[in-house]
């Protein structure tokens, strides 16, 4: 018996209590759209606990700025999720890992017809429109990022074939 991917994801999320993780992934997928590029570049979604979305920010000035906007941001997130999941936002200073914004990905070469067809093939059996849209964006950004890495001089890891700045990718280095 074949299960639809959304049924499988829902089943595993309930079994392993991952529903907040899936919500976090969804929020992260549209964070730049809601927050705007400037906020996106100076923040990083951390985790959700008890309805509170925790967000790392670059410095205390951003904590203050975003605290003034948190009700608007909270409403936009819940509206985009079509659920009232996020009850509050908590901003804390921390180290922000580099986010790849849409503007950076715009410099990537366009996807080839073969890459677009591969994505369509992967997505064609997903009946949930929202899930299909999110997975489509993830796959597209992943391919675009791969192109940018190649353009920046990244090479295939000699062990696993994944792209890396080094001879061995970080995962293969850990295996040694």
**pLDDT at res. 99:** 54
Residues 111 and 42 occupy one common structural domain: no
Residues 72 and 107 occupy one common structural domain: no
Residues 94 and 148 occupy one common structural domain: no
Domain extent at residue 53: 5-99
Do residues 162 and 169 touch, judged by C-beta distance below 8 A?
yes
Residues 55 and 131 occupy one common structural domain: no
**pLDDT at res. 18:** 54
Q: For residue 163, what are the contacts with CB-CB under 8 A and spacing of at least 6? A: 146, 149, 150, 154, 155, 156, 157, 169
Tokens in use for 38?
Answer: 């400037």
Which of residues 99, 120, 141 is at a domain's end? 99
Do residues 87 and 104 touch, judged by C-beta distance below 8 A?
no
Residues 77 and 28 occupy one common structural domain: yes
Residues 61 and 121 occupy one common structural domain: no
d(CA 57, CA 94): 6
Residues 59 and 85 occupy one common structural domain: yes
Residues 91 and 144 occupy one common structural domain: no
Residues 90 and 17 occupy one common structural domain: yes
Residues 117 and 170 occupy one common structural domain: yes
**pLDDT at res. 43:** 92
- Give the number of domains in the chain: 2
Residues 127 and 58 occupy one common structural domain: no
d(CA 33, CA 63): 19
Other C-beta atoms lying within 10 Å of the C-beta of residue 125 = 10
**pLDDT at res. 144:** 85
Compute the chain's Rg from CA coordinates.
18
Q: pTM of the full predicted structure?
A: 0.54
**pLDDT at res. 162:** 82
d(CA 137, CA 59): 30
- Whichever domain contains 80, its CATH number is 3.30.300.180
**pLDDT at res. 60:** 95
Q: Which residues of the chain have pLDDT under 50?
A: 1
pLDDT in tens, 114-124: 999 999 998 88
């Amino acid at each position: 018996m074949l299960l639809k991917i959304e049924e499988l994801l829902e089943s595993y999320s309930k079994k392993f209590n991952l529903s907040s993780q899936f919500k976090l992934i969804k929020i992260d997928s549209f964070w730049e759209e809601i927050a705007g590029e400037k906020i996106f570049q100076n923040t990083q979604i951390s985790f959700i606990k008890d309805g509170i979305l925790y967000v790392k920010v670059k410095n205390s000035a951003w904590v203050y700025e975003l605290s003034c906007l948190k009700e608007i941001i909270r409403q936009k997130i819940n509206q985009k999720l079509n659920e009232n999941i996020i009850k509050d936002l908590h901003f804390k200073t921390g180290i922000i890992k580099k986010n790849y914004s849409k503007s950076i990905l715009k410099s990537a070469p366009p996807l080839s017809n073969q890459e677009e067809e591969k994505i369509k093939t992967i997505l064609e059996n997903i009946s949930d429109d929202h899930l299909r849209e999110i997975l489509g964006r993830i796959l597209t950004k992943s391919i675009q990022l791969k192109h940018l890495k190649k353009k920046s001089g990244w090479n295939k890891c000699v062990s696993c074939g994944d792209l890396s700045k080094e001879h061995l990718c970080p995962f293969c280095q850990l295996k040694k």
